Amino acid sequence: MRPIDQLVLDENNVAFNPVVGNSYQVNDIAKEILIAIRHHKSKEDIINELTEKYDVSKEELFIDVSDFISKVKIYGLL
């Protein structure tokens, strides 16, 4: 199981990893991306879904989602 799969996501936008005791503050879109990654969606799929939902260009999303995934990896969650 990947650490990201162990995260408990609550309604206050806190992601808690009960195995190691770390907590992460996330925002709504970050939560959506975390859930999508847990569902094994590809980066491209995630970007396409968010482009449909939010008022943002695909180019900007590519940068932001790539950055977000980088940080998730740096935190050792993925």
Partner 1 sequence: MSKQTYLKPTINKVEFAMASKYGSPLKTQKIRSEIDGVKVSDLVEQYGSPLFVFSQTKIEELYHNLYNAFSSRYPDVQFGWSYKTNYLNEICKVFHNLGSIAEVVSEFEYQKARALGIEGKDIIFNGPYKPYKDLKIAVQEGAKIHVDNLFELNDLEKIADELGTKIKVAIRVNMDTGIYPQWSRFGFNFENEEAYEAVKRMYDGGKLELNGIHSHIGTFMLDANAYKMATIKIMQLKERVENDFGSIIDYIDLGGGFASKSHLKGVYQSPDVTIPTADDYAEAITNAIYEMNKSDKLPKLYLETGRALIDEAGYLLTSVHGYKRFPDGKKGYILNAGVNLLYTSTWYNFNIELDKRYDGENEPSMLNGPLCMNIDIIEENIMLPALDRGTILTLSPVGAYNYTQAMQFIRYRPAAVLIDKEGKSRVIKEIDDLDTVNYKEV
Site residues (CB under 8 A) for partner 1? 14-15, 22-30, 32-34, 52-56, 63-65, 67-68, 70-72, 74-75
Closest CB to partner 1 among residues 40, 52: 52
Helix (H, G, I), strand (E, B) or coil at 10: coil
Q: How far is the CB of 9 from partner 1 (least distance, A)?
A: 11
Q: Are 16 and 8 in contact (CB under 8 A)?
A: yes
Q: How far is the CB of 41 from partner 1 (least distance, A)?
A: 14
Distance CA 30, CA 17 (A): 16
Q: Are 73 and 65 in contact (CB under 8 A)?
A: no
Q: How far is the CB of 1 from partner 1 (least distance, A)?
A: 19
Closest CB to partner 1 among residues 6, 24: 24
What length does the chain have? 78
